[in-house]
A and B are shown apart, each in its own frame.
Chain A
Amino acid sequence: MKTNALAVSRRTKRQLDSYGVSGKIYHAEIDPLIAVIDLHKSFKSLEVLKGVDLYVKKGDVVVLIGPSGSGKSTLLRCINQLETIQSGDVQFEGSSIARGPVDINQMRQRIGMVFQHFNLFPHLTVLENITLGPRKLRKISQEQANALAEQLLTRVGLLDKRDAYPNQLSGGQKQRIAIARALAMAPDVMLFDEPTSALDPEMVGEVLEVMKDLAREGMTMIIVTHEMGFAREVANKVVFMADGTIQESGVPEKLFEQPKSERLISFLGKVL
């Protein structure tokens, strides 16, 4: 009850803020959905993230680009705490996920994640993959969950696969199901960890289409990808990472047309 009330009040506050009536002007840098603050992450003695700051406000589509090993995926995985961090903080709606008394399982329900290798549950059908979370975590009935799943399957264009098992699907189909599975939890933000990197080239398009639809509908998204065309078209903020730090960030036009740092110029020279 208490958390519900809190969520409602927070939402109302945000609404008021966005109308500018609560006295405080809504400001992305002050009131972001997700805030990553001076994040440091090491694997053993290897420091992968060396002080990263990132603010994502509601409705943002942030694309992380950069050479491999630059820490993009690690940053994404730190946001929903699949990796524990050494110092700094990750905040969701102003409350710390990384440290502090929040229930991480509750938080993760609101942060959808899509993996490079799909990670569908092979022992469950497509429908069961999608309904498992809503039924067990959001406690909605089997019928409602099925209806929700069918609606999501229609949205990703795979309703005819509802009773198939994951290993009967192509890579592109698996990834679209994985997106539907994450969406079924009605998350506030979606994280995409190189969603098209494991796909055959002819299947990349169908997955990107689904993601474009999501972006158009106003979903907050943080995407690690090597698809520069997609980044340019969909992102409202592109972040270039190298050597565990953010080197440069901004709107795609600026970042792609007028790159400032040497690293970004040479990176774009290689990938474009």
Chain B
Amino acid sequence: MDINAWLLDVGGFLNRYSALFIGGIRNTLILSIISGILSVLVGGGLCFLRMSRLPPLRWFANIWIEFVRGTPVLVQIMMVYYGLPLLGVHLPVPAFLGNTGERAMYGILALTINSGGYICEIIRSGIQSVDGGQMEAARSLGFGSVRSMLMIVMPQAIKNILPNFGNEFANLIKASSQVMVIGVAELMFSYNTISGTSGRAFLPLVVIALLYFIMTFIVGLGVRGLERHFKKSDR
């Protein structure tokens, strides 16, 4: 094929479908950022339960985490989407999510449940990476367990936690592609529309892959920046 003709063809394709791609990116970012923020909150709470002195709270957190780790994201998304209405749960829908907002809310909830489990494990392993003597030293000065955790253990654990948050966020962006199955118009969902109307199967995939790569690459840069920052303060 003539290279000029090929470039023109691709250019035309991008031009024609750019609005769909951009709309997809927008929704992917909205999904990822909202569930990213929520999953940090949920993961922190879950971690608190997991390290609790009360066995039932620990069991709850453990079951959550094992479920999230042991089942596919796709299954989790569909379970939330089909399961919650059966339980009579209806989610509030903020206006900025558009006319497929309710589906998006189910997607956000499913991703938060999933990512919250992983975030919990990241926080826990970050805390466990801090030498136990630190907690003992703080307690033996007379600080209570909560203050010891907040003033002594967490500031050290955060070095191990933050870079892994970045990795988990990149995972979240990729996992968000799977909420297309419940009809949320995110980036991967736009593939159906575009390939259907253009009759092309592969070209839109290449564009979508590239767009996902750019998003996760930027997150990765941030992670490496954080790692460098913390290494510096170690010296």
Chain A contacts to B: CB under 8 angstroms: 80, 82, 105-106, 108-109, 111-113, 115, 117, 119-123, 132-133, 136-137, 167, 181-182, 185
Contact = CB atoms under 8 A, between A and B. Distances in A.
Contacts of A185: 141-142
Contacts of B138: 121
Contacts of A111: 140
Given A109-B142, A133-B142, A137-B142, A123 B155 contact: yes
Contacts, number: 55
Contact of B133 (A119, A133, A182): A119
Of A108, A119, A136, most B-chain CB atoms within 10 Å: A119
A133 B136 contact: no
Contacts of B147: 136
B156 interface: yes
A121 B142 contact: no
A136 B151 contact: yes
B131 interface: yes
A119 B156 CA distance: 13
Contact of A108 (B141, B151, B156, B234): B141
Interface of B: 131, 133-134, 136-144, 147, 151-152, 155-156, 234
A134 to B, nearest CB: 9
Nearest to B159: A123
Contact of A109 (B133, B141, B152, B156): B141
A121 B137 contact: yes
Contacts of A115: 133, 136-137
Contact of A133 (B131, B141, B144, B156): B141
Given A82-B136, A119-B136, A137 B141 contact: yes
A82 B140 contact: yes
A121 B134 contact: yes
A132 B144 CA distance: 14
A108 B137 CA distance: 11
B130 to A, nearest CB: 10
B151 A132 contact: yes
> By CB atoms of chain A within 10 A, which of B133, B138, B142 has the most?
B142
A119 B131 contact: yes
The 8 A-B pairs with the shortest beta carbon distances in the complex, nearest first, are A109-B142, A119-B137, A113-B140, A119-B133, A133-B141, A108-B142, A123-B155, A105-B142
A137 to B, nearest CB: 5
A53 to B, nearest CB: 23
A111 B134 CA distance: 17
Nearest to A116: B133
Contacts of A122: 156
A132 B141 contact: yes
Chain A interface mostly helix, strand, loop or mixed?
A: mixed
Nearest to B138: A121
Nearest to B154: A123
A3 to B, nearest CB: 14
A7 B151 CA distance: 29
A122 B155 CA distance: 10
Contacts of B136: 82, 113, 115, 119
B155 to A, nearest CB: 5
Contact of B139 (A82, A123, A181, A182): A82
A80 B142 CA distance: 10
B214 to A, nearest CB: 35
Contacts of B144: 105
Given A133-B141, A136-B151, 7 more contacts: A105-B144, A113-B140, A115-B133, A121-B137, A133-B143, A136-B147, A167-B234
Contacts of B133: 115, 117, 119
B51 to A, nearest CB: 17
Nearest to A181: B141
Contacts of B139: 82, 105, 108
Contact of A119 (B134, B142, B155): B134
A174 to B, nearest CB: 12
Given A123-B156, A132-B151, A105 B143 contact: yes
Nearest to A137: B142
Contacts of B234: 167
Nearest to B234: A167
A137 B138 CA distance: 11
A75 to B, nearest CB: 15
A82 B145 CA distance: 12
Contacts of A120: 137
A109 B144 CA distance: 11
Contacts of B137: 113, 115, 119-121
A154 to B, nearest CB: 21
